[in-house]
Amino acid sequence: MSEQDSAVLVVEELRVSRKEPGEGQGLLSGISFEVGNSEVLGLVGGSGSGKSLTVRACMNLLPEELRAEGSVKFRGTELQTLGGKHMADYRARDFGLVHQDARSSMNPRRTVGDFILESVLHSRMLSFDEAFHSACALLRDVGISNPEARMRQFPNELSGGTLQRMMIVAALLHNPKLIYADEPTSALDVIAQSDVMAILLEQVRDRGMALLLITHDLDLATASCDQIAVMHAGQIVESGPAGVITSHPQHGYTRRLLEARHGTALPGNSEPASNSDATKGTN
């Protein structure tokens, strides 16, 4: 089986550093992982561990002052060497994004329908009517009643849970191969968190898509993911099947995450919890 057949995303020795000398050590160092077809991989770690920066590097969305080295292959194609237009085509056609807080990601002066339809109209050149009806069908699938009316509402008229469901619909509408979900439930209350995560997983699995879930919540990752990669200070310190990571942690940082979850100390030595200044803001 070829790499393209067996994995949607293959990241090898990904490094991110500042372009200017004297700015401190690298922000990401030697990041390697794979996301298989129809697989859910969780990147788990605390604030500043480098989870979100890893995703931005994979999508060629780093700020000007940073540079990436290493390999990021999507279905066998090296993304790190693609020009801006070609990479933008990949982002519009093959990737779906579910952000942390739907309300802050939507223009309050435009309807939620505008937000949902924008990408699919651009990437697939569908007529407005075709895209609108497809979106309404998906909204029903995620449990939103009267979708035609909801599409014409503004973000301030809807609850956080409803907006996050609409964010999921926007990510799914163009049938991407890979969904990036960055802390997709952390801005919601406990009940809404459970509902939204269940909907996201159901829709992704039903459509045979791969999902890269970025979260600080080890419980959520264990319940949702096939594989887990634990990040700390810009590195992946441990990875493997979700059940194995939580039942037999090998790294001190993973043990600390488990201690925080259970409120009790687990056997084994813990490592220092400090992050360098270079990794601040690299969630």
Angle at 216 between CA 212 and CA 222, to 5 degrees: 65
Digit-coded pLDDT (tens) for 63-96: 999 999 999 999 999 999 888 888 888 888 899 9
Spatial separation of the C-alpha atoms in residues 23 and 17, rounded to whole Å:
9
> pTM surpassing 0.85?
yes
Domain end, chosen from 148, 175, 202, is at 175
Digit-coded pLDDT (tens) for 87-136: 888 888 899 999 888 999 999 999 999 999 988 887 666 788 999 999 99
What per-residue confidence (pLDDT) applies to 187?
Answer: 79
Spatial separation of the C-alpha atoms in residues 246 and 220, rounded to whole Å:
12
Are residues 8 and 72 located together in one domain of the fold?
Answer: yes
Spatial separation of the C-alpha atoms in residues 283 and 28, rounded to whole Å:
11
Q: Which of 133, 206, 199 is nearest to 166 (CA)?
A: 199
Q: Which domain holds residue 139?
A: 102-175
CATH label of the domain that carries residue 183:
3.40.50.300
What is the domain count for the chain? 2
* CA 101 to each of CA 44, 74, 144, 181, 238: distance values in angstroms, whole numbers, following the listed order: 18, 26, 18, 11, 28
Residue 267 lies in a domain: yes
